[in-house]
Amino acid sequence: MRHVLRKGHSSVYLQYDYIGDSMGIENLVATARDGTVVISFDVRPVDSNQRMDEEHLHTDELREIQLSDEYSIDNLASFLESPSAGGKEIIVELTTRGRMLRYRVAIGPAGLAFLPLVVQRLD
């Protein structure tokens, strides 16, 4: 089962140990695959600053992805509550510079207007 969480452009906040970056993304999708929920998106920097920030994904350890788009958060919550999602494990797959990075996810406590996805690198 595949569910589009947000069509078009959106953004996320990427938190590392000592720095954080806002980053443009596209194609935010949730998919149920063999008992796992996979949240996927493509990193799409919107300017030269974000293109430089994208380098952190390749050099630093990502700790958290924060969704701040209310529409996307609501769609994700609905998807996770659906019986067809049936996922026990949640994975994020993000594509950056032609490379897919995969992370195991624990959903953190929602803050005011954001949903933290605490991540651990898989590969």
Note whether 66 and 72 are within 8 A (CB). no
Phi, psi of 38 (to 5 degrees): -115, 120
Instruction: Give which of 3, 107, 111, 6 is closest to 64, Cα–Cα.
Output: 107
| Token digits of residue 5 | 């969480």
Count the Cβ atoms, other than its own, within 10 Å of residue 36: 15
Give tens-digit pLDDT for 82-115: 887 776 799 999 999 999 999 999 988 776 678 8
Q: pTM of the prediction?
A: 0.91
Which pLDDT belongs to residue 87?
67
